[in-house]
């Protein structure tokens, strides 16, 4: 898949466990009818007008976040109290996470019809504001959407510190392997997630140097340099270190808590098992029950099932799409997972404890 193609994974072509395309009609009984299910569902969503772009909604979102970002920078420049600056760091983490949601939407072509314009705005969100890489996110997120919850192919299915299957647990080495039995205690370390992802973004640049415009690398490097310089200039070395630590940890905690709710603790795709597009996207995802505050806090990603089925569907239309998708799944006997916010985290912790118990009970333990 080319970079310019971005993510438009809405074609019901099932993938095999090893990452290749599988012939649904030859390997799954009734697969042709199942693929037709998706075509029928997509036609219903399109006829409801839900795939139309929402420029006014996104203009408001962009202007709102731009204003909040300006307020945070002004606070950094004008306020002397370190305690207020640490609160500002947490506030900036909220802004950065919301900007990452906009970068995600641009990646999926939710904002504009033009791939190029979405790319430009994605670069602004990921590279200019966050100091990361739009192209890295496209590459990584393409794999996630093509292979949700496939241990070998979905980069989001493998968290170094946590194991959601016995196979994952057995692959852990060293201290992490020793801690599998007590891995629930490691959950707070998800606050480090954005530091890990930032490293992965930079590593992506290094390993693929020469393949991407030097300007994009320069933009990310300059953004990071300005971020560090502003913190140091206005807060001094000690204050800057505290500010950056609070900001990055809160950023990671917020971002990872949203992402974890979507797939963690849901079924992992077993070896040799093949699913059609509709069922793989639905069965591996979890929705968090809608509420205006939840929708805003999650950037629409609490409608994970609908988002995976229709990645280019604007986030403010996901709630309307849910009505159609949920009823469609119920009529066809497709399990549709939706829980409350609190219950979603309980489910994740229970899944982690179940793996820990399985490892502890195994003869090799």
What local confidence, expressed as pLDDT, does residue 127 receive?
A: 95
What local confidence, expressed as pLDDT, does residue 271 receive?
A: 54
What is the residue-wise DSSP string for 152-177? Answer: TT-GGG--TT--SSHHHHHH--HHHH
Residue 154 has pLDDT above 50, yes or no: yes
H helices of the chain, in order, are: 24-27, 31-47, 55-78, 82-107, 115-123, 134-146, 166-171, 174-178, 193-207, 214-263, 277-283, 292-298, 304-309, 318-331, 341-361
Beta strand 287-288 with 338-339 is parallel
What local confidence, expressed as pLDDT, does residue 147 receive?
A: 86
What local confidence, expressed as pLDDT, does residue 274 receive?
A: 74
What local confidence, expressed as pLDDT, does residue 268 receive?
A: 83
SS3 39: helix
Residue 19 has pLDDT above 80, yes or no: no
Mean pLDDT of 337-364: 86
For residue range 244-292, list pLDDT tens digits in order.
Answer: 999 999 999 999 999 999 998 888 876 566 778 999 999 999 999 999 9
Angstrom distance (rounded) from CA 210 to CA 351: 42
What local confidence, expressed as pLDDT, does residue 98 receive?
A: 98
Residue 25 is inside which H or E element, if any? helix 24-27
Contact indicator for 308, 148 with CB cutoff of 8 Å? yes
User: Which residues, including other chains, have CB under 8 Å from residue 222's CB and lie 6 or more apart?
Assistant: none
Answer with the residue of higher pLDDT: 301 or 210. 301
For residue range 47-68, list pLDDT tens digits in order.
Answer: 999 999 999 999 999 999 999 9
What is the residue-wise DSSP string for 229-247? Answer: HHHHHHHHHHHHHHHHHHH
Q: What percent of the chain has pLDDT over 70?
A: 87
pLDDT confidence bin for 164, thresholds 50/70/90: confident
- The residue behind tokens 């118990």 is 357
Mean pLDDT of 296-306: 97
Q: Specify the range with the lowest mean pLDDT, choosing from 199-213, 241-255, 330-344.
A: 199-213
């Amino acid at each position: 898949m080319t970079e310019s193609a971005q993510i438009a994974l809405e074609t019901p072509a099932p993938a095999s466990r090893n990452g290749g395309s599988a012939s649904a009609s030859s390997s799954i009984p009734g697969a042709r009818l199942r693929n037709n299910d998706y075509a029928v569902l997509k036609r219903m969503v399109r006829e409801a007008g839900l795939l139309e772009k929402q420029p006014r909604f996104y203009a408001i979102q962009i202007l709102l976040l731009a204003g909040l970002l300006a307020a945070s920078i002004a606070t950094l420049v004008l306020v002397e109290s370190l305690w207020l600056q640490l609160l500002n760091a947490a506030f900036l983490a909220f802004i950065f996470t919301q900007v990452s949601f906009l970068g995600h939407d641009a990646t999926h072509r939710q904002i504009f019809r033009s791939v190029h314009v979405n790319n430009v705005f994605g670069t602004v969100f990921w590279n200019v504001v966050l100091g990361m890489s739009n192209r890295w996110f496209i590459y990584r997120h393409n794999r996630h959407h093509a292979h949700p919850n496939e241990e070998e192919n979905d980069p989001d299915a493998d968290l170094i510190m946590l194991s959601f299957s016995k196979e994952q647990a057995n692959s852990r080495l060293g201290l992490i392997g020793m801690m599998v039995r007590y891995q629930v205690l490691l959950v707070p370390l998800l606050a480090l997630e954005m530091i890990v992802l930032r490293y992965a973004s930079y590593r992506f640049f290094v390993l693929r140097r020469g393949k991407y415009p030097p300007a994009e690398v320069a933009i990310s490097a300059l953004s990071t340099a300005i971020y560090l310089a502003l913190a140091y200039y206005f807060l001094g070395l000690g204050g800057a270190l505290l500010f950056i630590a609070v900001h990055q940890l809160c950023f990671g905690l917020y971002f990872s808590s949203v992402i974890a709710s979507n797939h963690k603790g849901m079924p992992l795709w077993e070896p040799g098992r093949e699913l059609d597009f509709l069922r793989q996207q639905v069965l591996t995802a979890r929705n968090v029950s809608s509420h205006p505050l939840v929708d805003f806090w999650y950037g629409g990603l609490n409608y994970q099932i609908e988002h995976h089925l229709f990645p280019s569907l604007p986030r403010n239309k996901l709630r309307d799409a849910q009505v159609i998708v949920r009823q469609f799944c119920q009529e066809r006997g497709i399990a549709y997972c939706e829980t409350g916010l609190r219950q979603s985290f309980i489910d994740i912790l229970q899944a982690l404890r179940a793996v820990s118990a399985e490892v502890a009970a195994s003869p090799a333990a």
